[in-house]
Structure 1
Amino acid sequence: MHSIRARLLRGAPDSVLVPLPPAGLNPGPSLHLGGISNSILSPSSLRGEHNIEYSLMFRSSPGFVFHDSRGFESGAVEELELVREFIQKKASLGSMKNQLHAIWYCISTDGNRFMTAAEKQFFDTIDTGSVPVIAIFTKFDALDAAAFSALSDQGVPFAEAQMRAPEHAQAQFNQDLSPLIKQLAHPPRAVVCLRNMNKGSPDFIQKAASELIEKTSTTLDDSALKILLVQAQCVNVRLCMKAAVNSEIITKAAQNAFQEDPVTFNPIQKELIKQIFKWFPYIWVSGRLSQVVDHSVSHTFSILGLSADYWNYLADGFIQVITPLISSHLHSISPPLQVLSVGCAAVIVAAKAFWMQPGDTRPHHIASSFNHYMESGAAEDVKVAILKAFQDAPRPYDTSEGKAALLEVVLNNQMSHAS
């Protein structure tokens, strides 16, 4: 089917964003993201009918709401206007939970044209304002045949051309088509290319889901929405780790410790731990209290029902187990590097804790995870990696380079969930 589906998402009342696949995104009986059962995609008398005003929700994640356009072909003015009106209406709503948060616009690449007149009309005439549009090019593997032919024409051997075709297809897309996308009046803020989704492989699906959610997260300007999006997908712990590091919580704390006295400085800061843990929602998802600590995202956490008391409880539990074990471990390095080490420990331990009890992580899982962090040698490896990355080249820590270096340390030293 070559019609275009505009994927319109909004947060539901008393709920959070959950990255689930829109029905129709390369539809197939095995397609599932975020733990959706196949039954959701089974045929029904209503399947194929689309009304953008209808809310599409999934039983496995009721906090996420889709609005599905029926799609519009060239000259289909009525459906285009319906989409325009829907976007404008949602933009005028004051409450975050009722607003439109993002648009997933699906474009199939298995046709003869890169972009139809209807698709171009959408991006040239509809200004979505602060609502980001993510263009999803589905069936991207359909471009492999042309890429294979191009490589063969260059004299590349058959087997090598087959192997290089996907990479060459992506390179040609980036070279020839990406500039055309940027020239649109209202270009998408991000582009995602999905391939081989029809095969139903869990690895392909997980990779596609991760890329889509990460790209969506980068387009969101509101920090509260970023947290909502990250907290929704508990199966992708790596995204939680990236979000925690990229939020600059750790690097800014390290920068602030630059003038501290190494003798009296305590790197185990309760506020730092709390701010890191907020990016790992499966740790605190059971908290149901009234107030919040971070007023910049107060609406988000009032929806989630989290409070200062619960955050203090979690942070205290982490600090209690970390203090006697890690304080002496860090005394030989400077205060900023001590902060970086503690921050890395909190991120890695939080990630490991998820796998101990997926969906129901408790403080004692945090304690067990930290004990494993110390006993496995990961703590020493992190310390050495931080010294190598930061000590020999003094620089401001709260920079893009600093975050990238810290993220590399975290990801290279994350603990296997099987251990």
Structure 2
Amino acid sequence: MAAIGAQDIRKRIGRFRVLIMGRANAGKTTILQKVCNTTDQPEIYNAKGDKVDAAIVESSLGRGNHDITNEMVFRSNPVFVFHDSCGFEAGTDKEFESMKNFISERAHATKLEDRIHAIWYCIPMDEHSRTFQRSEEKFFLECDTGNAPVIAVFTKFDALRAVAYGDIKKQLQGVSAEERSKRIAQRVEELFANTRVLEKLRKSENRARYKSYVRLQYMNKQDTNCDTLLESTTLALDNEELRLCLVSTQQSNLELCIKCAVTILVDRAHQLFGLLLFDCGAYQYKIARWFPHLQVRQRLIQSDDSLVMMLTDGITAGKIGIYEARTGWTALMPCCYSPVDSGM
């Protein structure tokens, strides 16, 4: 049976395109590897689609040259495509203008598949006293990001914990482990607030479209992930097709599918209809679209306890087959199932 909604949208849009920004050593490569579930380095392609030798790219970076139009793709998940702004933060005005023009052109591209769909701006917290530097200020103030949401990614957030502990070390003597953890967490929040970085991101005169922020920590550990970043990005997108594309592109976060389906669609139904009844079957289909690897089964329970089963096609939402259909009242019991587990 055909896959539901999200996969078809992904085929039409192509790939989900992200521009990742930030200073050197901000942890950008680690983030991309976590998102794509790999430890491998990305393959790099130029604007013509030709593969570029990584050694040549490294050599260019060493000379202060970088082509932001190059695409980075990981074999583990080639449906993500990344661009790296590496170079402008410590570069010349010419490099800044080149980056600025690239963002403006891609943010306003006519075709959805050619656009930058989201921007991840990485700000490392291991130098929290220098969190928002001139490069960040200039980007948010001058760069027109169009409809592409900017997610501020505070990387190495665990570095604040060490600073917090050093600040209140004497006050922690003799307190319980629970109280110690609570006080350190409180001091971390104070340190973060003292940077005033959120105020700077939210300035009304900024042209960059800041939407939300996430904190990433202990990313050097194997059991960490970027689920919060994917969730924040999905919910920041205004275009539902792009949301579906991102949900189907990421491969590991079932919870994200659930949250999008319930939060976006069911809440919308309540807003439109309040307590009134709505078409349950239609909304079942709309919810199921967020699960690209699932199919929908509807059970209709008859008054005489016989079972009517309808399989719903993910493309047309039409009835494929009806079994033991009889007259009488019915109760709709929608559920999703895996094609593998269904035995059908």
Task: State the Cα deviation string for residues 105-152 of structure 1 (Å, max 9, x = none).
Answer: 111122241211122111122232222111111111111122113333
Matches within 5 A, 1:13-412: 15-17=14-16, 26=27, 32-40=33-41, 45-46=55-56, 48=58, 49=61, 50-73=66-89, 76-111=92-127, 112-152=129-169, 154=171, 157=174, 159=177, 160-161=179-180, 164-166=183-185, 168-174=187-193, 176-177=195-196, 178-183=198-203, 185-186=205-206, 188-199=210-221, 201-202=222-223, 204-205=224-225, 209-249=226-266, 252=269, 256=273, 258=275, 269-283=280-294, 310-312=314-316, 316=319, 346=334, 349-350=335-336, 353=337, 361-362=338-339, 365=341
Structure with more of its chain in helix, by fraction: 1
Amino acid at match of 1:225: L
Distance, in Å, in 2 between the alignment partners of 1:157 and 1:318 is: 70
Distance, in Å, in 1 between the alignment partners of 2:117 and 2:256 is: 19
Whether contact under 8 Å (1:132, 1:220) holds in the other structure is: yes
Change in Cα spacing, 1:146 to 1:251, as seen in structure 2 (3 Å) is same
Change in Cα spacing, 1:167 to 1:236, as seen in structure 2 (3 Å) is farther
Amino acid at match of 1:39: D
Whether contact under 8 Å (2:30, 2:219) holds in the other structure is: no
User: Shift of the alpha carbon at 1:257?
Assistant: 8.5
User: Shift of the alpha carbon at 1:51?
Assistant: 1.7
- Segments of 5+ residues of structure 2 without an aligned counterpart are 1-9, 44-52, 296-311
Change in Cα spacing, 1:14 to 1:96, as seen in structure 2 (3 Å) is closer
Change in Cα spacing, 1:172 to 1:90, as seen in structure 2 (3 Å) is same
Distance, in Å, in 1 between the alignment partners of 2:171 and 2:322 is: 61
Change in Cα spacing, 1:105 to 1:157, as seen in structure 2 (3 Å) is farther
Distance, in Å, in 2 between the alignment partners of 1:281 and 1:318 is: 22
User: Shift of the alpha carbon at 1:33?
Assistant: 2.3
- Segments of 5+ residues of structure 1 without an aligned counterpart are 1-10, 261-266, 285-307, 331-341, 354-360, 369-419
Whether contact under 8 Å (1:250, 1:272) holds in the other structure is: no
Instruction: Tell me the SS of whatever aligns to 2:80.
Output: strand
Supply the RMSD in Å over aligned alpha carbons.
Answer: 4.1
Whether contact under 8 Å (1:317, 1:367) holds in the other structure is: no
Distance, in Å, in 1 between the alignment partners of 2:182 and 2:321 is: 47
Whether contact under 8 Å (2:107, 2:117) holds in the other structure is: no
Distance, in Å, in 2 between the alignment partners of 1:272 and 1:69 is: 41
Structure 1, 127-136 or 167-176: larger mean CA deviation = 167-176
Change in Cα spacing, 1:174 to 1:327, as seen in structure 2 (3 Å) is farther
Q: What is the percent sequence identity of the aligned residues?
A: 29
Amino acid at match of 1:33: K
Q: Which has the higher contact order (CA 8 A, sep 6+)?
A: 2
Structure 1, 24-33 or 219-228: larger mean CA deviation = 24-33
Whether contact under 8 Å (1:19, 1:232) holds in the other structure is: no
Whether contact under 8 Å (2:36, 2:74) holds in the other structure is: no
Amino acid at match of 2:55: S
Distance, in Å, in 2 between the alignment partners of 1:318 and 1:71 is: 59
Distance, in Å, in 1 between the alignment partners of 2:262 and 2:321 is: 18
Structure with more of its chain in strand, by fraction: 2
Q: State the TM-score, normalized to the length of structure 2.
A: 0.69
Distance, in Å, in 1 between the alignment partners of 2:31 and 2:212 is: 26
Amino acid at match of 2:260: A
Partner of 1:303: none
Amino acid at match of 2:93: V
Whether contact under 8 Å (2:33, 2:40) holds in the other structure is: no
User: Shift of the alpha carbon at 1:194?
Assistant: 1.0
Change in Cα spacing, 1:171 to 1:222, as seen in structure 2 (3 Å) is farther
Amino acid at match of 2:230: I
Amino acid at match of 1:45: A
Q: State the TM-score, normalized to the length of structure 1.
A: 0.58
